A = this chain, B = another copy of it.
């Protein structure tokens, strides 16, 4: 059961002018499961993507990069769940290409104007025939208010669809933002997690789209982890349909640019945190905040060492304030000249360790109280600078093992 993750609020999912979505059951995953989604973009939309750094990136990720680099305007996204088309070599690439071509032909566009996305089991053959056979049904379903359905259509081990929206005013014009994501395991995005899609009708100069996508990824998907496994298929796609009628944003540093970035990042962060809240087997949502570091890089290292430690994560699961495990993770995070005498540790408002040792005023009962909560903030002070970084993660439970031992069966 996800941690404090309400079902998406349909009222906050805004149709984005120039963006239509169609979803169908193509029989790729399991009977009765929506598994094929098309996102259709009107002419004039700007699209940017950030993708996994996994060197075993999936065939669709390779094609996405190629198609985006071709300079051809993206007109459609083609997304399947149930099969990741990763670890499939040249054959996988050819299959991804065939699905793009099939959709391009139906739309009368160039194959490079279609971006493919796949999620599911790795090293299985993509069932191209089923995807091709499902395209007509998906296309005939295309509507602008299908965001929730799309969030359902891209789920794998997710227990809940993930979708958020926002509205802001820029230059007197109402700007809408809607986004969806999926993911619950193999989550330590190192770009963005497979799959995140955020669209706005805002008019944005193509030249700033990539920077916007990067900053969104950095402040959201690139700060979460469930199990430390960076997926082969991580993709975040940011779409501006440019239909809102506002004066085009040409710099993210402008007031309008800042307002858009703030709102887009807010949606991306909700989508990213939703993945952690729905993390496989998660019972708790943990914020790891590392402060007083020399560089953001070292703060991140420490935050991830804590967030990935199976010992720390099982202690959270057990509500056991066995907090020395956090100190141990700080110690092996890779800061060579770290002085343990400078380390402070807080659990929410409880001051657990000071100068690298147990705080004399710390009482086990206080640690116990916080550990029982479903939302916990771990705060570590490194005592050597002013940099800070935050990472979100979940605990590690029996259900994680159960889910991943049985995933394919």
Confirm or deny: A106 has a beta carbon within 8 angstroms of a beta carbon on chain B. Answer: no
CB <8 Å contact, A328 and B54:
yes
- Cβ-neighbour of A89 out of B121, B317, B357 (below 8 A): B357
CB <8 Å contact, B398 and A86:
no
Among the 9-residue stretches A25-33, A165-173, A216-224, A335-343, the one with 4 or more Cβ atoms under 8 Å from chain B is: A335-343
Among the 9-residue stretches A2-10, A37-45, A130-138, A400-408, the one with 4 or more Cβ atoms under 8 Å from chain B is: A400-408
Among the 9-residue stretches A235-243, A246-254, A288-296, A307-315, the one with 4 or more Cβ atoms under 8 Å from chain B is: A307-315
CB <8 Å contact, B318 and A406:
yes
Confirm or deny: A185 has a beta carbon within 8 angstroms of a beta carbon on chain B. Answer: yes
Complex interface: chain B residues within 8 A of A407 (CB): 320, 322
CB <8 Å contact, A331 and B88:
no
CA distance A330 to B310 in the complex (A): 20
Known: A229-B328, A331-B55, A404-B314. A358 touches B320 (CB 8 A): no
- Cβ-neighbour of A310 out of B88, B310, B315 (below 8 A): B310
**Shortest Cβ gap from A398 to chain B (Å):** 5
CB <8 Å contact, B330 and A56:
yes
CB <8 Å contact, A55 and B335:
yes
CB <8 Å contact, B317 and A401:
yes
Known: A228-B310, A396-B401. A54 touches B332 (CB 8 A): yes
Confirm or deny: A287 has a beta carbon within 8 angstroms of a beta carbon on chain B. Answer: no
CB <8 Å contact, A327 and B87:
yes
Known: A56-B340, A92-B357, A398-B398. A86 touches B328 (CB 8 A): yes
- Cβ-neighbour of A328 out of B124, B186, B327, B339 (below 8 A): B186
Complex interface: chain B residues within 8 A of A315 (CB): 404-405
Complex interface: chain B residues within 8 A of A310 (CB): 227-229, 310, 396, 400, 404
Complex interface: chain B residues within 8 A of A259 (CB): none
Known: A54-B332, A228-B308, A332-B190. A324 touches B358 (CB 8 A): no
Binary B-proximity of A340-371 (CB < 8 A = 1, otherwise 0): 11010000000001011110000000000000
The number of chain A residues with a CB under 8 A from chain B is 72
CB <8 Å contact, B56 and A87:
no
CB <8 Å contact, A230 and B90:
no
CB <8 Å contact, B227 and A122:
no
Known: A123-B324, A185-B311. A331 touches B398 (CB 8 A): no
Known: A55-B331, A329-B229, A335-B55. A322 touches B401 (CB 8 A): no
CB <8 Å contact, A123 and B323:
yes
A55-B336, A186-B311 known, 4 other contacts, Cβ within 8 Å: A56-B356, A86-B328, A121-B324, A229-B311
4 closest Cβ pairs, A-B complex? A89-B357, A122-B324, A56-B331, A318-B405
A-B contact pairs, 11 of them (CB 8 A): A53-B332, A56-B343, A87-B340, A87-B356, A123-B324, A185-B311, A227-B310, A228-B308, A229-B311, A229-B329, A310-B396
